[in-house]
Amino acid sequence: MAVAPTTIRYRTLTWLTLAAAIAYLCRNAVGVAESTVREDLGFTLEQSGWFMGAFFWTYSLFQVPSGWLAERWGTRFTLSLFAFAWSVATFGIGVAPGFGLLIVAQLVMGVAQAGIFPASCNSIGHWMPLGQRSLSCGILAAGMQGGAILASALTGLLIAPLGWRWVFVGFAVPGILWTIGFYLRFRNDPSQDSRVNDSELALIQAARSPAIDPAAANSISEWRELLAIARSPVMFWLCGQQICRGSGYMFFASWFPTFLQETRGVSVAESGYLQGLVLAGTLTGSIFGGTLVDWIWRRTGSLRLSRSGVGATFLAACAVLIVAAWFVQSAVLAVALLSLGSFLAALAGPCAFAATIDIGGPRVPQVFGLMNMVGNLAAAACPILVGWLFQWTSNWNLVLLMFAGVYLVGAICWVFVNPQKQIDGV
């Protein structure tokens, strides 16, 4: 009789999802605490913009190098190292006496968190069957939003009784505990884990492309590899949609609580809860998006329809809902519209993750790293540009119109993404 497959792949996905949640807990707490930190330390709006955006400069620039490390050293070692480092940086935010050290802590956290998703997507490619990859990417993205929601709810709630410094010190602890457990239990490939039986290994490896000879893959120089990836037409459009999604998401993760405080008259704690509602839309959209993408692929066998079709349709719908929220004065109704919009935009997240696995071949960490790098450079610039825009116009509502246009451009980029062909020369 056939032996039922073991389910170690789901435990592996759980470890990766927890890493995403803890990382986003640490990074998103900054947005909710921004106004409190600004008042306590006497920052200007421009300084706050640099404080919130500093993380994304190093986070962006180290995507490709950290992806290279993840490929060479394996997810087990690199992700353990990264998690320990970002936990130390979170602690550093809590104890920093002024602007300079806060910026340093944010830059260090950006370096440490840069490798999470290149490494995680690479591991999903190793551990998950082809028909479950998009859902797995959606669950990973949901972990990000789960951490962001916790940051929105807990930061605003805990700042009053504990103060913002102790909040960040406390948020450093989960990452340390995760690092210990992950290094002891995780393995880079299912063939290396004695708990995986033959049935599960066969299930994981079914319908995937033939294995690439590691010696042949490693013989290609890194610069030649990156040049081949960067000049590929599909990467241009894939990076374009990531720029739009990254900058659009960053508004909700940084200035959105302040936007609600200034335009709808809500308190700091209330703005944190309302931000959490929008991020909840992103969380549920990530999970549903992964399920939808895998369902379309199983029904049609079309990578282009299940990836590009879903991404283009729902980013365009998100743009329409943001425009609708611009006309609404009620904070509750506006947040409801924006939550639905963030839900629809999140449906495109698993598409992007899965597309990097589809086209990346043996170089998924580098492909994902390049895509995520340009997206997060846009995210890094976003808080600063929003601060400048408000100082120039004194009108927070114009920001909504700007981001509606950003999401519409992202939809257009998805139309031209073709995930059916791996990048030449990789």
pTM here?
0.69
Q: Would the pLDDT of 123 be above 60? A: yes
User: Among residues of the chain, what percentage have pLDDT more than 70?
Assistant: 89
Three-state secondary structure along 301-325? CCHHHHHHHHHHHHHHHHHHHHHHH
Q: Whose CA is closest to 189, among 409, 404, 12, 373?
A: 12
Reported as a single tens digit per residue, the pLDDT across 185-215 is: 999 888 888 898 888 888 888 755 544 444 4
191 secondary structure, DSSP code: G
Alpha-carbon torsion (421, 423, 425, 426), positive or negative: negative
Reported as a single tens digit per residue, the pLDDT across 20-63 is: 999 999 888 887 787 788 878 877 777 777 787 788 788 878 88
Q: Would the pLDDT of 270 be above 80? A: no
Distance CA 162, CA 155 (A): 10
Find the DSSP H helices in 42-193: 45-61, 63-73, 75-95, 99-113, 116-127, 133-162, 164-171, 173-185
Give the DSSP H/E element, type plus range, for residue 209. Answer: none
More confident residue, 327 or 361: 327
User: Among residues of the chain, what percentage have pLDDT more than 90?
Assistant: 18
